[in-house]
Amino acid sequence: MKNQKKATLFALIAVSMWSTVASAFKVTLTYFSPIQMLLVATLTTILALTGICHKQKKLHLLKVYFVKKPLYFLLLGLINPFFYYLILFQAYDLLPAQQAQSLNYTWAISLSILAVPFLGQKLTAKDAIAILLAYSGALIIATKGDVFALDFTSLPGVFLALFSTLLWAMYWILNTKNNADPIVSLLLCFLLGFPAVLIATPIISDFNMPPNWQGWVGAIYIGLFEMGFAFVAWLSALRYAENTAKISNLIFISPFVSLLLLNIIIEEPIYPATIIGLIFIISGLLIQQLKSNAFKKPAL
């Protein structure tokens, strides 16, 4: 049954969760390497989603979906959680959290660009304006406003943050061919991606994770709320929504709340260029949403 009040509640819960994760990423990276953080977070997500699917009596669908499309779900699992989050966490390790988070919001613009070769869609004038605004905002943020000097805080970090948006966009493009239950599909992706995380951990770093409780709590928190419960809440919001556009627009609250939390929790000073650049990016996303209302599955 449609229920706009329930939809709004679930959407606000998801937005609240996503608003905290930039701070959680940065705190946890003080103790764990990116791959170590991904290892703990991924395992936590698997346990959480398994519990949800068990309660919904849907665990048997894992085998059904995998047998039907093994290579397809393996590819999805390698993108999310493995490659996407590893690259995103590495970007956060190299950049101020406000920069990594804001650059990550250009993923929907990346989606519109990749939809041209992969989905046969055409770029419109509104798309072109949205792309120009979003990447102008990204440049302002990455250079702290000194766009002509092109003095980046960390050029590798900027590259990784933007590359992660391409991976996330590709993940959702591939999901256009997926008619399976979204929560079961997400669990299957994490189950298939976890071995890659496990193999990569001793290659990139090691299993010798420090005993500091802050690192463990942070990684578990990320697994529960960034990768798990937030998506369940968002999917519930879309299911109950009478007006999807109103629900989708709530996601634009998240980056500004996140900036406030970054300033309060980790005492990261917020650059004026970040605010200006983020306004450019959000403006581009709003123009894009007016065109297609496609901003249904956000990512931070």
Give per-residue pLDDT as tens, 200-225.
999 999 999 988 999 999 999 999 99
Find, among 145, 148, 142, the residue nearest to 162 by Cα: 142
Burial of 142 (0-12, 13-18, 19+ CB in 10 A): buried
Q: Cα–Cα distance between 222 and 22 in angstroms, integer?
A: 10
Give per-residue pLDDT as tens, 181-193.
999 999 999 999 9
Give per-residue pLDDT as tens, 27-52.
999 999 999 999 999 999 999 999 99
- pLDDT for 242 equals 82
Who's near 238: CB < 8 A, 6+ residues apart?
Answer: 7, 244, 247, 296
Residues with pLDDT less than 70, the chain: 149-150, 291-300
Burial of 113 (0-12, 13-18, 19+ CB in 10 A): middle
